[in-house]
Structure 1
Amino acid sequence: MAAYYPIHPTLKQQEDMKKFLQIFPQFFPCRPCAYDFESNIIVHPPKLDSRHALSGWLCMQHNLVNKKIGKPLFDCTHVLERWRYGWKDNDDCRLPEQD
């Protein structure tokens, strides 16, 4: 979702994303995970001023979970490649490069 956030979001888009991230845990099936996310967004508020900032912030949140459950951390420099454009070695999953 962050990979498709606007490059330069309006104040309304930033406010809408903030609201979305605040209510997201209410619908997350894992209660301990939802609680952790709610706590994390208080300590580390989401960065909403650009696609790059939000993607990095969400990747950091994802890596907090990975660390907690013993999974390898995701290299956040590859967020857009993974979630927006698709891996370069897999043309079947590539999406059109658009803003």
Structure 2
Amino acid sequence: MSENPVQLVLQGLCKVSDCIQTNLSRFFPRPDDPSSSLPRNKTPLLTLSTPTHLRQPDQILNKGKSSGPTTKEDLGRATWTFLHTLAAQYPDKPTRQQKKDVKELMEILSRMYPCKECADHFKEVIRANPVVVGSHDEFSQWLCHVHNVVNRSLGKVVFPCERVDARWGKLECEQRACDLQGTAAMDFTK
């Protein structure tokens, strides 16, 4: 029996979130950094060396962020990071189920994205640019193209799509632990 696609997406988002948190150390105060706003001899509530599962609730809530809830821009950056990371991991020869899941994910994002204006715009973008999921290259290029469509609409710089693999390379995981489920060796759709 296959898992619920939404559950798989949520699991993937958790892994991406942990990866981002680990790699964005510049946003976390360090006690030995003289430019830190922390008083001398004061240990920050949250450090990169503290595993997520060992942190206290107040450490998780006060993760070096002085402002309130997530902004639309923060959400957008996190979403594009997730999507480009997904595309980087997308196989050269995806299964029917992987193709279906990616198309469904884009449809779900266009309906359920927390910013209604963004969701409606993304719905228009994918209507004009149907999702292409035939291979890693096709999906990565399609995603880069639609990201650039969104960037143009926001007056932002576009990214040269011929450099997408250099910018969003595969995750570095031991023993192919980052491979998407359902690769050719595990094709459950037949």
> TM range, normalised to the smaller chain?
0.7 to 0.9
Identity %: 38
Which runs of 5 or more structure 1 residues have no equivalent in the other structure?
86-93
Which residue among 101, 114, 121 is the counterpart of 1:36?
A: 121
Count of residue pairs brought into register by the alignment:
90
Query: Does the 8 A contact of 2:107 with 2:123 survive in 1?
Result: yes
Q: State the partner residue of 2:154.
A: 69
- Structure scoring higher RCO (CA < 8 A, sep ≥ 6) equals 1
For residues 3-39 of structure 1, the C-alpha deviation after alignment (integer angstroms, 9 at most, x for no partner) is 1111110111101111111101333232211111111
1:15-94 to 2 correspondence within 5 Å?
15-85=100-170
Alpha-carbon offset, residue 95 of structure 1: 3.6
Using the size of structure 2 for normalisation, the TM-score is 0.44
Using the size of structure 1 for normalisation, the TM-score is 0.79
1:7 aligns with 2:92: yes
Query: Does the 8 A contact of 2:125 with 2:149 survive in 1?
Result: no
* 2:152 counterpart letter in structure 1: K
CA RMSD of aligned residues (A): 1.9
Alpha-carbon offset, residue 57 of structure 1: 0.6
What CA distance in whole angstroms lies between the structure 2 residues aligned with 1:68 and 1:36?
10
